[in-house]
Amino acid sequence: MAQLWGGRFTKETDQLVYNFNASIGFDQKFYRQDIQGSIAHVTMLAKQGILKTEERDQIIKGLKGILEDVESGKLKITAEYEDIHSFVESNLIDRIGDAGKKLHTGRSRNDQVALDMKLYVRDEIMQLDDILKTLLETVEKIMEENLHTYMPGFTHLQKAQPITLAHHMGAYFEMFRRDRGRLKDIFKRMNLCPLGAGALAGTTYPLDRAYTAELLGFDGPTLNSMDSVSDRDYLIELLSALSTIMMHLSRFSEEVIIWNTNEYQFVEIDDAYSTGSSIMPQKKNPDIAELVRGKTGRVYGALMSVLTTMKGIPLAYNKDMQEDKELTFDAIDTVKGCTALFTGMLDTMKFRSQVMENSARNGFTNATDAADYLVGKGVPFRDAHGIIGRLVLYCMERKISLDDMKLEEYKAISPVFEEDIYDAVSMKNCVERRNTIGAPGAEAMKVVIEENRRYLRKN
């Protein structure tokens, strides 16, 4: 048991208590950030004359040595330390002796852990942003290649109107673009440095908090020392944004799963991203998409868990907050992993355009256009709706589509129909004539694709 405290205790900590309390098992994940924060801290202490320059240099050299040895595997982070902060400090003292004991001057583990977590989250947000960008690039590529790949658009999972694959993918482009925007907002709002808040009430040392903040790339120091050590809002915001990303990935996964069924056959998932059955030789299952959909639950769980943990905590730091780490780490790793895998699956997936197009042809996805045709001939929309409804029924009884009807048959239902009805209900025209902003027509889609390209170049 290596602890940083114990002076006022007369008994050893009970082993079960020690284990229950310790966080080294998970907070070792931010050893890099812990060392980075300590280097900035001593740099500031020396600038303020609180440490001698030689002491600063010795400490920094020692800290960099620890970092190197951990990275190379020479130094193992073991359970004999209570947390990552104790690990680094004890190792420093072992290496450089008394100067190491000055590292923690004007600092508490409360502001230290608040800093470490922010530094870690900042790094992870940037990594996740890159992964999301790759996903967007993949979606954009599919859009560019499928401007004229017709497919049914659905409402209530019932065929509604024809669209294109580019248009369908475009909806996901919007979602993941908003997700990146959310991460950016969170980064900006959280980017204030808590170091120097001490345990809760600042310190009597003449710390230059603005300087430490600057050294660590923050926009400035936090402004209330109690809030600095007990603010976990940014984690809740992050978990909420991560949950939204998972919700989007899960919806997308659900569609891939449906499209991949024997009944739909809109797509074929690459062998490298599918799995087989131990008993049924014919099976090729979409396990990756299912797992992404399934893992959404644990990310939502992390959000609910941290929200619940925080709701009853009086100011300022309380040990409850240690619970934020495992949940946040797990959520971040899950989202990064799922996003990267999903991108790989999407990138290698085959879209069976002929099947999609045939599916759009059947199922009366052009019925609205037939009604609009009548409106164009002066029939009020409500009447047109009724006429086309009767027409659909007529076709269903004969198992034919609107395009298959003879002009006489049309005319028998309404004399308004002319030869140009065939043009109006041709699937190609139904899609290509929809060119208002955001609609599936190729002209409208080209504008969006160009805007997406511009966005990806700039962000």
Give the tokens for residue 31: 């050893």
In the complex, minimum distance from the CB of residue 225 to ligand ARG, in angstroms, rounded to a whole number: 14
In the bound state with ligand ARG, the residue whose beta carbon lies nearer, of 34 and 55, is 34
Count of chain residues binding ligand ARG (CB under 6 A): 11
Answer yes or no: are the C-beta atoms of 148 and 164 closer than 8 Å: yes
For residues 311 to 350, the per-residue mask of contacts with ligand ARG, x marking binding by CB under 6 A and - elsewhere, is ------x-x-xx--x-------------------------
- Would you call 373 exposed, middle or buried from its count of C-beta atoms within 10 A (0-12, 13-18, 19+)? buried
In the bound state with ligand ARG, the residue whose beta carbon lies nearer, of 113 and 163, is 113
Q: Does 163 bind ligand ARG (CB under 6 A)?
A: no
In the bound state with ligand ARG, the residue whose beta carbon lies nearer, of 198 and 221, is 198
Give the active site residue among 104, 148, 168, 277. 277
d(CA 242, CA 176): 11
φ/ψ (deg, to 5) at 81: -100, 150
Residue nearest to ligand ARG (CB): 322
Residue 426 is a catalytic residue: no
Residue 230 is a catalytic residue: no
Give the tokens for residue 352: 């069976």
Answer yes or no: are the C-beta atoms of 370 and 391 closer than 8 Å: yes
d(CA 168, CA 171): 6
- Candidates 149, 354, 169; CA nearest to 255 is 169
Give the tokens for residue 205: 């040392």
| Region 109-128 residues binding ligand ARG, contact defined as CB under 6 A | 109-110, 113
Q: Can you point out the beta strands (E) in 214-314?
A: 267-268
Distance of CA 130 to the CA centre of its chain: 11
Instruction: Spell out the residues 6+ positions from residue 117 whose beta carbon is closer than 8 angstroms to its own.
Output: 30, 235, 324, 325, 328
In the complex, minimum distance from the CB of residue 84 to ligand ARG, in angstroms, rounded to a whole number: 8
In the complex, minimum distance from the CB of residue 316 to ligand ARG, in angstroms, rounded to a whole number: 10
In the bound state with ligand ARG, the residue whose beta carbon lies nearer, of 34 and 357, is 34
In the complex, minimum distance from the CB of residue 323 to ligand ARG, in angstroms, rounded to a whole number: 8
Q: Which listed range, 107-115, 355-363, 385-393, 412-420, lies at the site for ligand ARG (CB under 6 A)?
A: 107-115
Give the tokens for residue 170: 């475009």
Give the active site residue among 23, 72, 108, 156. 156
In the bound state with ligand ARG, the residue whose beta carbon lies nearer, of 83 and 255, is 83
d(CA 42, CA 52): 10
Query: Which parts of this chain interact with ligand ARG (CB under 6 A)?
Result: 23, 27, 83, 109-110, 113, 317, 319, 321-322, 325
Give the residue numbers annotated as catalytic, written as ranges: 156, 277
